[in-house]
Amino acid sequence: MTALQVPARSEGRNAMEDSLTAAEKVRRQLKAGRPRKTSTPPRSVFEAVQRIFAEADRARELMGKNGLSPDDIRLILLCRVAGIPDRPIQGSPLPAPGEIGAFITQLEELSALTRVDFLGIMWEQDDRDPRAKGKQMWITEFADDKRAALEMVAFKNKLASMSAPK
């Protein structure tokens, strides 16, 4: 690599950074780094809740640091009940920080009745910048499971199509 290439790369990266909205920068930071997948998904409500709370705290902090409302990002815990044919995916939206008790109770009651597979987190972020494309959605998988990944994408696409303006 020549000495001329390094400044050119830096200029290109800076130009790209300048073109991003604040919400896009937050999304980029949330998605950056090694994938946080493990070989096995969370096996208990406690593990799943601990994982989504850690991600929510990180997201709210990044939103605030970038001058955005922490309320403009939402997380939904994706799971499915084991033993049901075609096991449809269900989403449990993470409530506001002061209303967590009912969320945990609902998950504990469900897991007391049957085994629950915790699959991942679906993210929704409002980008209010006039240059933005509006609400963005993406998924963070808990484990490396190709079938579950495809099902979660289908679930996300279904929700996105239902909420799209007509």
Kindly report, residue by residue over 38-55, the tens digit of the pLDDT: 667 888 999 999 999 999
The DSSP output letter for 86 is T
More confident residue, 23 or 145: 23
Residue 6 in any domain: the answer is: no
24 close to 135: Cβ distance less than 8 angstroms: no
The first and second tokens of residue 156, run together, are 């996300």
Residue 10 in any domain: the answer is: no
Phi and psi (nearest 5°) for 138? -155, 170
Would you state the torsion angle of the CA atoms of residues 49, 50, 56, 58, taken in this order, to the nearest 10 degrees? -170
More confident residue, 16 or 87: 87
* Global confidence as pTM: 0.81
Residue 45 in any domain: the answer is: yes
Residue 44 in any domain: the answer is: yes
CA angle 38, 81, 84 (to 5 degrees): 125
Q: How confident is the model at residue 149 (pLDDT cuts 50, 70, 90)?
A: confident
User: Residue 12: what pLDDT?
Assistant: 58
Q: What percent of the chain is helix, strand and coil (3-state, nearest 5)?
A: 50, 20, 30
Residue 16 in any domain: the answer is: no
Instruction: With CA atoms as reference, report the closest residue to 78 among 86, 88, 64, 66.
Output: 88
More confident residue, 143 or 10: 143
Q: How many domains does the chain have?
A: 1
User: Residue 82: what pLDDT?
Assistant: 78
Residue 11 in any domain: the answer is: no
Residue 90 in any domain: the answer is: yes
User: Residue 163: what pLDDT?
Assistant: 72
More confident residue, 18 or 162: 162
Residue 30 in any domain: the answer is: yes
More confident residue, 12 or 118: 118
**Which residue range(s) make up the domain with 79?**
23-163
